Amino acid sequence: MKKIIILILLAMGMQGLPAQEVESSLGEARQAWDKGELENTRHALQQALYELDIAIGKEILKLLPENMGTMQYKEEKEEVGSASLGYAGLYVSRAYAGHEDTDASLQIIADSPLLAGVNALLALPVIGDPNRKRIRVGTYRAVLIKSEDDDGALSWGVQVPFGASLLNFSVNGVTEKEVVDMANTIPLEQIARLIQ
């Protein structure tokens, strides 16, 4: 128990994250532990981890670019969340909008055991599929996926696995080069350090 609390506090201190809510939940966990209330201890620790995920998500939003090409981010559409149900942890989302039919969205899903399978699939070669190709986003391998609707409008998806996390970047109304250039403005190395 002491080791878990110390590790959480060290992670917060190293990241420079706001700690009031997390410390409160850790205090509740400590009190429940001292009383031998294991279920209450578990609940308080899960709450502390939830609050830590939210704080990390807010720090990630600060790192994300405010512009993607000529598109501006839409603050009202930002989302930060966390789920402690075993299928997902941290979730961060940001949307961008531009002129006419250009828009983009970015999602980061972290700490999900299910992503290990997705990461393995993304690491496979995409030979034979003309709508998928491997690219690099920073120092990470990624998959670029091209889609075309019935009217001939192109949309793009970039999926970047890193650790037990996944970045999904979707863009409409731009060229392949613009999508790759935009993806490379995302500070993945800094995000990965925050998440790990």
Structure tokens belonging to residue 139: 């120092």
**Lowest-pLDDT range, 56-70, 72-86, 111-125, 140-154?**
111-125
| pLDDT of residue 183 exceeding 70 | yes
**Lowest-pLDDT range, 23-37, 90-104, 138-152?**
23-37
- Which pairing describes strands 79-82 and 71-73: parallel, antiparallel, or unpaired? unpaired
Neighbours of 181 (CB within 10 A): 13
Domain boundaries, the chain: 2-60, 66-195
Per-residue model confidence as pLDDT tens digits over 25-68: 788 888 888 888 888 888 888 888 888 888 899 999 999 999 99
Report the share of the chain in percent with pLDDT over 70. Answer: 78
Contacts of 28 (CB under 8 A, 6+ apart): 40, 44, 47
Q: In the prediction, which pLDDT does 59 show?
A: 94
Whole-structure pTM value: 0.78
| pLDDT of residue 17 exceeding 70 | no
Pick among 3.40.1000, 3.40.50, 3.90.550, 3.30.1360: CATH of 66-195: 3.40.1000
Structure tokens belonging to residue 18: 């706001």
